[in-house]
A and B are shown apart, each in its own frame.
Chain A
Amino acid sequence: MAYQVPRPKLTFAEKIYLPAVFAGLRITLGHLWRMLRGKTHVCMQYPEEKWDANLPEHYRGAPTLVSDEYGRTRCVACQLCEFICPPRAIRIKPGEIPTDDKFAKVEKYPEQFQIDMIRCIYCGLCEEVCPEQAIFLKKQYAITGTSRAAMMHEKAKLVEMGGIQPGVVNKWNEKK
C-alpha cells in the first residue's frame, strides 16, 4: 500500500500566504539594509586584497626546484617524481655531471626538467617521494599564462621559483 505523506494542517493565516510573505521580506530586507550600511562582513576582494600572509605552512602551491647553499640544484634526476606523478605532468631528461666537477660524485643532474602546469594537480606526491628533498610545493598559487607553452614550466623557471633552501639534505657536501 502506498504511503501517504501527511500534509500539515495550515491555519488561515498560513493559507493566505501574505503574513509569511511579509515575514520573509523582513528578513531579506534586513540583510539588504545591513549590507548597505556596510555592517555585513563580505568576502575578500581578491586582486586588491590577498590572504598570502595567512597561508599555512603546509600550503601546497606550485611545485618548484630548490637549490642548496652552493647554488647546485638539488635534483639528481632519479626520475621518481616523474614516475609517481599521477597526471604525468613532469618530464625529466637526465644528464651526466663531468668527472672534473666539484659535485662529480652526484653523477646525474636534470638536463631538462619540465612541469606542465596545465596537468599538475598540486597533489604534492613529487615532494613526498623525492629522496633528495629537491622538489617543494611553494606558496605560489596564481599560475597563469596566455598559451599552453607559457604554462609549461622549464627548469630555469622552476629553479628561479624554488630559490635557495639550505640545510635539508647534506650528504653531497664536502666531508669536514
Chain B
Amino acid sequence: MNALLEFLHSDLFFMIWTTLAKSAGLLGVVLGMVSYTVYAERRVSSLMQDRLGPNRTGFPLSVVGSWLGGQKWKDWSPILGGLGQPIADAMKLLLKEDFTPAYVKKFYYWIAPGLGIAAAIIALAVIPFGSSIAGVPMVIADIDIGPLFIFAISSLGVYGIVLAGWSANSKYPFLGAIRSTSQLISYELALGLSVVPLFLIIGKLNLVEIVNYQVQNGWMLLPGITAGKLPTLQQAALFVPVLISFLVFTIAMFAETNRLPFDLPEAETELVGGYHTEYSSMKFALFFLGEYTAMITGSSFIVTLFLGGWHCPFIPDGSQHWWWGLVNIGVFFTKVFAFLVFFIFIRWTLPRFRYDQLMKLGWIWLFELALVNIFLTALIVAFVH
C-alpha cells in the first residue's frame, strides 16, 4: 500500500500521467484540426472558384453563420454554414462497407493505412506546441534530436504508401506508389539539407531550445524584431540564407506531403486515386487522415523552426501564469492553421507539375540551392560579427 502511495507521489508517475494527458490532448486537437482543415479546403476551394461548397450540414453553428452573414434566420448560410460537414463525413466513412478485394495481399493491405497515419502522428511528439503550464513543459518528448527524429519518422510514412500501392495488386495504385517513392526520396534530401543552416546558427538540435533561442533573439524570419531589438549585423546578413532555407524547406514540405503542385502520387486525372484506389471506408479515411496529419506535422515543424513556435511578441510565456500557457498554445495553433490555409491557397492556384519538371526542380534546383546555402551560412557565421 505504502509502495503504491509512494509511486503515486513520485516524479515518474507525475511524468507518466502528464505525458499521457498531453498526448491525448494533442491528438484530439490535431484530429479535430484535420477534419476542419478538410472542411476549410472544400470551402476555400469553392469560394475561389465562385462556388459555395458545403454550406448546409450542421445544426447550431450554421445558424450562427447565417446570422453573421446578415441573412435571415435559416439553417444554412453562404459563408459560414456547413460546419457540421466534417462530422457527417466521418460518420459516413465509418458506416460505409469496408471492402477488401479478393486479389490484394491482405496482410500488407491492412497494415498500410495504419503505417501512413502512425508516422505522421508520432512525428508530432517532439514538437513544442506551447511554453509550459504549471511547470509542465508543453512538449510530449523533450529530446535532443528533435528535427532528426521528425525526418526519420516522417520518411517512414512512405512505407504506408508503397505497401498500399504494392499490395493492392493493381496498376494505378502501383504507379502511384512508385511515383511517391521517387518523389519522397528526391525531396527528402532538399528537406534535410535546407534546415542545416538553422542548426549552424542556433547550434542546438532540441526543438524546445530552438524555440527558446527564437524567443530571445527574434524569430528566424524576423531576426531581432520580435524580441524587441534591432537585428545585429550578423543576423541581418544571415537573413538571406534563412529566407532561402525557408523557401526550399516549404517547397520540399509540399512535395513531402503530396500536396498540389506535387501531388503526382495520387493525380486523380491520371491515376484514378493513386495508391489508395483500392481502399474504401475507414481504411481510405485513414490515408486521408494521415495525409492531413502530415500536413499539420509539416506546418508545425515550419512554425517551430522559422516562425518562433508558440512565441508571440508582448505575450508572456507560461511561467507567468497558467493561462498564458494556454494562450501560447493558441498562438501556436493559430500559426499552424495560417500555414495550412496557405497550403490550401497554393493547392487551388497552381496546376500539377509534369514528372520531369518535378524531378528537375528537386534534384537540380532545390538540392543545389540547399547545399550552397549551407556554405553561405557557414561563411557568414564564421566571418561576420
A residues adjacent to B (C-beta < 8 A): 16-18, 21, 24-25, 27-29, 31-32, 35-36, 38, 40, 42-43, 45, 48
Verify B78–A31 contact, CB threshold 8 A: no
Instruction: Give A67 Cβ to nearest chain B Cβ, in Å.
Output: 39
Which among A24, A32, A38, A43 is the interface contact of B350 at CB below 8 angstroms? A24
A35-B349 contact in complex given A42-B78, A48-B74, C-beta closer than 8 Å: no
A28-B52 contact in complex given A35-B47, A36-B47, A36-B79, C-beta closer than 8 Å: no
In whole angstroms, how far apart are the Cα atoms of A28 and B44 in the complex? Answer: 10
Verify B349–A40 contact, CB threshold 8 A: no
In whole angstroms, how far apart are the Cα atoms of A45 and B78 in the complex? Answer: 9
Which among A18, A35, A48 is the interface contact of B50 at CB below 8 angstroms? A35
Verify B50–A24 contact, CB threshold 8 A: no
Considering only CB atoms, which chain B residue lies closest to A41 in the complex? B50
In whole angstroms, how far apart are the Cα atoms of A38 and B50 in the complex? Answer: 10
Contact with A along B41-52 (1 / 0, CB 8 A): 000100111111
In whole angstroms, how far apart are the Cα atoms of A18 and B246 in the complex? Answer: 14
A32-B47 contact in complex given A42-B78, A43-B52, A48-B74, C-beta closer than 8 Å: yes
A40-B50 contact in complex given A25-B345, A32-B44, C-beta closer than 8 Å: yes
**Residues of A close to B225: CB separation below 8 A:** none
In whole angstroms, how far apart are the Cα atoms of A31 and B247 in the complex? Answer: 26
Verify A42–B345 contact, CB threshold 8 A: no
Verify B51–A28 contact, CB threshold 8 A: no
Contact with A along B26-63 (1 / 0, CB 8 A): 00000000000000000010011111100000000000
- Total A-B residue pairs with C-beta atoms closer than 8 Å? 41
Q: List 17 A-B contacts (CB under 8 A).
A: A16-B365, A21-B349, A24-B350, A25-B346, A25-B349, A29-B48, A31-B49, A31-B50, A32-B47, A32-B48, A35-B47, A35-B48, A40-B50, A42-B51, A43-B52, A45-B76, A45-B78
B residues adjacent to A (C-beta < 8 A): 44, 47-52, 74, 76, 78-79, 247, 345-346, 348-350, 361, 365
What 17 additional pairs, Cβ within 8 angstroms, besides A28-B345, A36-B47? A16-B365, A17-B361, A21-B349, A21-B350, A24-B350, A28-B48, A28-B348, A29-B48, A29-B345, A31-B48, A32-B44, A35-B47, A35-B50, A42-B50, A42-B51, A43-B51, A45-B76
In whole angstroms, how far apart are the Cα atoms of A12 and B51 in the complex? Answer: 36
**Residues of B close to A48: CB separation below 8 A:** 74
**Residues of B close to A29: CB separation below 8 A:** 48, 345
**Residues of B close to A32: CB separation below 8 A:** 44, 47-48
**Residues of B close to A43: CB separation below 8 A:** 51-52
Instruction: Give A137 Cβ to nearest chain B Cβ, in Å.
Output: 31
**Residues of B close to A40: CB separation below 8 A:** 50
**Residues of A close to B44: CB separation below 8 A:** 32
Instruction: Give A122 Cβ to nearest chain B Cβ, in Å.
Output: 27
In whole angstroms, how far apart are the Cα atoms of A39 and B48 in the complex? Answer: 13
Considering only CB atoms, which chain A residue lies closest to B46 in the complex? A35
In whole angstroms, how far apart are the Cα atoms of A57 and B287 in the complex? Answer: 51
The 3 A-B pairs of least Cβ separation, nearest first, read A24-B349, A35-B47, A28-B349
Verify B52–A27 contact, CB threshold 8 A: no
In whole angstroms, how far apart are the Cα atoms of A36 and B78 in the complex? Answer: 9
**Residues of A close to B50: CB separation below 8 A:** 31, 35, 40, 42
Considering only CB atoms, which chain B residue lies closest to A24 in the complex? B349
**Residues of B close to A28: CB separation below 8 A:** 48, 345, 348-349
Most chain B CB within a 10 A radius of its CB, from A18, A29, A32, A36: A32
Considering only CB atoms, which chain B residue lies closest to A40 in the complex? B50
In whole angstroms, how far apart are the Cα atoms of A7 and B49 in the complex? Answer: 30
Which among A17, A21, A42 is the interface contact of B52 at CB below 8 angstroms? A42
In whole angstroms, how far apart are the Cα atoms of A45 and B47 in the complex? Answer: 15
In whole angstroms, how far apart are the Cα atoms of A21 and B346 in the complex? Answer: 8
In whole angstroms, how far apart are the Cα atoms of A38 and B79 in the complex? Answer: 9
Instruction: Give B214 Cβ to nearest chain A Cβ, in Å.
Output: 25
In whole angstroms, how far apart are the Cα atoms of A47 and B270 in the complex? Answer: 36
